């Protein structure tokens, strides 16, 4: 008898625990997206009424099955927003280029565009590019001018003072002219290579600044439109609340009469 009563108590406690677990934890309600027909949590969908009018009209134009009381998930909303921005840019700028398409894709993926151009530029430089930049930096400095002036002075003085076999380049210094011509012929392409690398870096900076500025302009425009839409909704709600208050005041005044 003791074992039976103990087993019954254990069985009853297990049923109470199962009932409490099933009754205390209810499944979260799902909301269906009218675009992709999938179920999401309520915080992962956006009502169509909360969209700004231009974007809501574009969404209903792209998806006729989307009703005014429907919902749309954030993934489809980001994709529709990118398509909407692409159409606006096509109207304003004509055919979109590669930079504009990168901005549109970043809006759809909700990614940042700002990057460190210097790091990417340094990663792409080869050994020859680094040597060209170093030689161009040294060739355009006062150190190079001082060193070369001393070298020329030592060359001329040595060949003027020393006489005999040690004098390897007598006046008018024909070998010196040959050395200077070879140095100029080699230095000019090196400087041009370095300038070309500087132009590439400046172009990368300009492209990155253009993409960041364009995305910032689009985001600011989106924020302005969203704030205007929210303010319009707030004014409508305040007007409705005022009408309800006036109706209540009229009802109260009629009751007093």
End-to-end CA distance of the chain: 78
Please state, in angstroms and rounded to a whole number, the distance separating the CA atoms of residues 159 and 172: 10
Could you tell me which of 59, 182, 198 has the C-alpha nearest to residue 129? Answer: 198
Q: Which of 87, 111, 135 is the last residue of a domain?
A: 111
The mean pLDDT value of the chain amounts to 76
* Structural domain contains residue 78: yes
The better pLDDT of the pair 126, 90 is held by 126
Could you tell me which of 48, 115, 110, 120 has the C-alpha nearest to residue 79? Answer: 110
Give the tens place of pLDDT for each residue, 157-210: 988 888 777 788 888 889 999 999 998 898 888 888 888 888 888 888 888 888
Q: Which of 55, 88, 111 is the last residue of a domain?
A: 111
* Structural domain contains residue 252: no
Q: Which of 111, 127, 142 is the last residue of a domain?
A: 111
Residue 165: HSE in the Cβ half-sphere, 13 Å Cα cutoff = 0
Structural contact between residues 61 and 68, judged by C-beta atoms closer than 8 angstroms: no
* Structural domain contains residue 169: yes
The better pLDDT of the pair 156, 54 is held by 156
One domain for residues 49 and 79: yes
One domain for residues 134 and 149: yes
Q: Cα dist. 173→155, 165, 177, 178, 187 in Å? A: 9, 15, 7, 9, 21
One domain for residues 179 and 198: yes
Give the tens place of pLDDT for each residue, 209-226: 888 888 887 778 777 767
* Structural domain contains residue 239: no
How many CB atoms neighbour CB 175 within 10 A? 12
Measure the CA dihedral 100/101/106/108, to 10°.
120
Nearest-5° Cα angle at 240, 239 to 244: 115
pTM: 0.51
CA 102 remoteness from chain centre = 9
Q: Which domain holds residue 126?
A: 117-203
Nearest-5° Cα angle at 105, 104 to 109: 120
Buried b / exposed e along 34-50 (16+ C-beta atoms within 10 A): bbeeeebeeeebbebee
For residue 100, pLDDT beyond 90: no
Give the tens place of pLDDT for each residue, 121-170: 777 788 888 888 888 888 888 999 999 999 999 999 988 888 777 788 88
């Amino acid at each position: 008898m003791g074992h039976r009563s103990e087993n019954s108590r254990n069985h009853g406690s297990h049923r109470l625990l199962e009932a409490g677990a099933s009754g205390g934890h209810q499944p979260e309600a799902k909301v269906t997206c009218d675009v992709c027909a999938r179920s999401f949590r309520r915080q992962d969908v956006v009502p169509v009424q909360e969209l700004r009018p231009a974007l809501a009209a574009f969404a209903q134009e792209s998806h006729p099955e989307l009703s005014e009381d429907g919902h749309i998930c954030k993934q489809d909303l980001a994709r529709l927003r990118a398509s909407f921005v692409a159409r606006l840019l096509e109207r304003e700028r004509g055919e979109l280029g590669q930079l504009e398409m990168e901005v549109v894709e970043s809006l759809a993926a909700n990614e940042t565009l700002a990057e460190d151009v210097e790091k990417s530029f340094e990663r792409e430089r080869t050994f020859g590019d680094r040597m060209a930049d170093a030689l161009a930096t040294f060739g355009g400095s006062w150190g190079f001018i001082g060193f070369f002036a001393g070298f020329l002075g030592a060359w001329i003085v040595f060949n003027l003072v020393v006489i005999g076999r040690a004098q390897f380049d007598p006046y008018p210094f024909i070998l010196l002219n040959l050395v200077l011509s070879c140095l100029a012929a080699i230095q000019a392409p090196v400087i041009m290579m370095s300038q070309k690398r500087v132009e590439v870096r400046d172009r990368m900076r300009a492209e990155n600044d253009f993409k960041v500025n364009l995305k910032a302009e689009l985001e600011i425009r989106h924020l302005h439109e969203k704030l205007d839409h929210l303010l319009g909704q707030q004014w409508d709600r305040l007007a409705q609340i005022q009408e309800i208050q006036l109706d209540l005041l009229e009802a109260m005044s009629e009751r007093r009469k």
